[in-house]
Amino acid sequence: MTHKEIVIEGMNCGHCVMAVKKELSKMTGLVVEDVQIGKAKVEYDEAKVTPATIEKAIDAAGFKMIAVN
């Protein structure tokens, strides 16, 4: 499992946090550790999840992934 912090643009309230958390939680092979305004900490199985699939989930929530650290 890989631990990463994702920097997210466009989040500014609790609703934003919940929207991102909801979309990321739908992903098989990914565990949401924490979501705060502007970032998310996740743990994922690289065989099932890629940064590109994480970006698609964040896009689906209405936000933009800036970086994966």
Model pLDDT for residues 19-43, shown as the tens digit of each residue: 999 999 999 999 999 999 999 999 9
Which residues have C-beta within 8 Å of that of residue 19, sequence separation ≥ 6? Answer: 61, 62, 63
Q: What is the number of structural domains in the chain?
A: 1
* pLDDT above 70 as % of the chain: 100
Q: In the prediction, which pLDDT does 39 show?
A: 97
Q: Work out the pLDDT band at 64, boundaries 50, 70, 90.
A: very high
How many C-beta neighbours within 10 Å does residue 62 have? 12
Domain membership of residue 44 as a residue range: 2-68
CATH code of the domain covering residue 14: 3.30.70.100
Question: What mean pLDDT comes out for the span 44-64?
Answer: 96
Say how far residue 53 (Cα) sits from the centre of its chain: 10
Query: pTM of the prediction?
Result: 0.92
